[in-house]
């Protein structure tokens, strides 16, 4: 059904618009700058196109204005072109003085940045300062990019510090543009009173530009009972599952264990669930061919959540297999872009999962932020001392089996365990992820209807970022971020700690990077200040990218361990205070308000 570089959502894939702006004075000034200015735009476009891909694997395209922009008429022509071309992110470049308010990008919902060339021949820095003042005065926050070292006028090299900011801005801007107009699909409603599964439409609409869609969980039963799924795919999927998904030990007391026949029926059921949930999200043209045109359309959902507990799981097999496979970068159809599917319909964990996926192009781990283990507690319980990155304590990230199988850490790059964009994953790595996972019959005390939970242990040494979105009445949404590493414990230590929770579930041991102060003075403080029971775990240290993205959406960040020199927000944020950056972020977000309101 899918393959590499597959476009599966409705709507244009956003492009980056490059705006070369120029001093409008003719008879010598403009003419002398035309080639240099346009070459600067071409260099930026080339750099971005060579270094960025969309999460679906397709290359990022840049659109350059037809001419340099010396005044409002040419600015309007560029805006018209960008609108026709589907531009969702705007970067203005210039080596010289230009007329600020006459050349600026006035679209209020498109993330925008200005790169002012640091050269002495012409005052690019003067324009940068002037136009940023204009953006700020008009309430259109823009990012300022200015290289720290002076370059010669004919230098076409993009400095490393400028490259870093261009990429950080472009990734975040493309994430904003990609979410716009898409849907979050709730399959079911509120799970066990979890606040994140109380879906707040105003947040999705005002901050993300998204719509909300709702389907009762009985729709899955209807489609199973009436055969509204691709039967050929189902046979292929079930065969793949039997060959690749090994069943693990049943921890339930013997007297309540399901029979072999019941377990086999459960496998058939959860495979159908997985196909149907995917079809609900993105549609499936095969359904139209068998007479179900409405169902074939889907909900254009870039993310979804499944309520599951308890109305579903007290009677039907749980959603663990469905969630784990959808969140992975592969299934019976081969290697493909992962889906974003939140356990317990926790929409406020689905959003940072979506952020992480759009910023890194990788699968995201959904987990409970379950237990803080201090070095003292580990020593008391196991008799062993924590060492290495784990020496200050660890957080046990574990959930009932919805974590992506990419989270095993069995993908490799340069001899290190990583999570990769799907187009880099090999068939051998898929096999290793599957071999590292067993599917344990569900804990029937939790899940009376049965099912299977994925069970694996994440490899150590992987740089990851844990994030979470929370909504506070009167304040609105806030994002928290914790960069750190996965760690591996000695097998006997892991076994003792794992047995105290639920050994049928997948485990990631997480050691946040400490700063020695505030929420990151120790591991206990990270756990103690975490705002909810769930967290989204993304590959790589992407806290800086998340901060940039949050500022575009006007979501303040209330907790992070990102070095100050990496923080990149719109220039206007400086006006709200440069001493206390966290406080300035809150004030700026409150002042400008949600991006789409």
| CA 224 to each of CA 227, 234, 245, 261, 495: distance values in angstroms, whole numbers, following the listed order | 5, 11, 22, 19, 39
Report the DSSP beta bridge partners of residue 479. Answer: 469, 557
Residues 514, 404: contact at Cβ < 8 Å? no
* Residues in contact with 379: Cβ distance below 8 Å, sequence separation at least 6, in sequence order: 385, 386
Rg (CA), the chain: 25
Report the DSSP beta bridge partners of residue 464. Answer: 484, 539
- DSSP class per residue in 329-395: SEETTEE-PPP-EEETT-HHHHHHHHHHHHHH-S--EEEEEEEEE-HHHHHHHHS----GGGTT-EE
Annotated catalytic residue within 295, 320, 368, 429: 368
Residue 498 CA to its chain's centroid (Å): 28
Report the DSSP beta bridge partners of residue 15. Answer: 87
Q: Identify the DSSP state of 419.
A: -
Q: How far apart are CA 213 and CA 304, in angstroms?
A: 9
Q: How far apart are CA 53 and CA 535, in angstroms?
A: 26
- 344 belongs to the catalytic site: yes
- 206 belongs to the catalytic site: no
Measured between its terminal Cα atoms, the distance across the chain in Å is 37
Residue with tokens 């969309």: 54
Annotated catalytic residue within 105, 331, 337, 344: 344
Q: How far apart are CA 405 and CA 421, in angstroms?
A: 13
Tokens of 274: 């997985």
- Which active-site residues does the annotation give? 344, 368
């Amino acid at each position: 059904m899918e393959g590499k570089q597959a476009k599966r959502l409705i709507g244009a894939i956003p492009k980056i618009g490059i705006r070369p702006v120029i001093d409008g004075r003719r008879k010598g000034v403009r003419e002398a700058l035309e080639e240099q200015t346009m070459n600067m735009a071409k260099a930026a476009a080339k750099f971005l196109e060579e270094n960025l891909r969309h999460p679906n694997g397709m290359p990022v395209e840049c659109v350059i204005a037809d001419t340099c922009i010396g005044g409002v008429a040419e600015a309007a022509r560029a805006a018209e072109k960008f609108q026709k071309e589907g531009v969702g992110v705007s970067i203005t470049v210039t080596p010289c003085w230009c007329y600020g308010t006459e050349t600026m990008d006035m679209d209020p919902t498109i993330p925008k940045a200005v790169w002012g060339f640091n050269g002495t021949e012409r005052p690019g820095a003067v324009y940068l300062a002037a136009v940023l003042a204009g953006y700020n005065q008009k309430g259109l926050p823009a990012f300022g990019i200015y290289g720290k070292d002076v370059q010669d006028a004919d230098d076409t090299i993009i400095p490393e510090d400028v490259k870093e900011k261009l990429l950080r801005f472009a990734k975040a801007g493309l994430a904003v543009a990609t979410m716009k107009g898409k849907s979050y699909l709730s399959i079911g409603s509120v799970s066990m009173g979890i606040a994140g599964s109380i879906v707040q439409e105003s947040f999705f609409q005002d901050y993300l530009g998204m719509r909300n869609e709702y389907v009762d969980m009985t729709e899955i039963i209807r489609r199973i009972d009436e055969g509204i799924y691709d039967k050929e795919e189902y046979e292929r999927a079930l065969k793949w599952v039997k060959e690749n998904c090994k069943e693990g030990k049943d921890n339930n007391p013997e007297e309540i264990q399901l029979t072999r026949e019941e377990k086999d029926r459960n496998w058939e059921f959860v495979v159908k669930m997985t196909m149907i949930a995917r079809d609900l999200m993105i549609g499936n043209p095969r359904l139209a061919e068998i007479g179900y045109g409405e169902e074939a359309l889907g909900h254009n959902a870039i993310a979804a959540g499944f309520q599951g507990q308890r109305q579903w799981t007290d009677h039907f097999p749980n959603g663990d297999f469905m969630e784990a496979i959808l969140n992975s970068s592969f299934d019976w159809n081969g290697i493909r872009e992962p889906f974003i599917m939140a356990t317990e319909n926790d929409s406020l964990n689905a959003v940072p999962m979506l952020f992480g996926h759009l910023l890194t192009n990788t699968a995201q781990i959904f987990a409970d932020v379950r237990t803080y283990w201090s070095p003292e507690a580990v020593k008391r319980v196991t008799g062993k001392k924590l060492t290495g990155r784990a020496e200050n304590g660890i957080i046990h990230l574990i959930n009932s089996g919805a974590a992506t199988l990419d989270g095993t850490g069995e993908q490799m790059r340069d001899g290190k365990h990583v999570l990769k964009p799907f187009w880099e994953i090999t068939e051998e790595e898929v096999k290793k992820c599957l071999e590292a996972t067993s599917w344990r019959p569900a804990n029937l005390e939790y899940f009376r209807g049965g099912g299977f939970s994925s069970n694996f242990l994440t490899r150590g040494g992987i740089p990851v970022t844990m994030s979470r979105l929370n909504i506070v009445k009167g304040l609105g949404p806030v994002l928290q971020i914790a960069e750190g590493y996965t760690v591996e414990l000695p097998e006997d230590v892991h076994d003792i700690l794992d047995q105290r929770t639920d050994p049928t579930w997948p485990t990631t041991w997480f050691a946040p990077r400490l700063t020695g102060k505030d929420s990151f003075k120790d591991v206990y403080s990270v756990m103690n200040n975490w705002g909810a029971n769930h967290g989204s775990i993304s590959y790589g240290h992407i806290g800086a990218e998340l901060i940039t993205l949050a500022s575009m959406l006007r979501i303040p960040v209330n907790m992070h361990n990102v070095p100050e020199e990496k923080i990149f927000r719109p220039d206007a944020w400086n006006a709200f205070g440069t001493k206390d950056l966290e406080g300035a972020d809150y004030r700026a977000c409150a002042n400008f308000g949600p991006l789409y309101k």
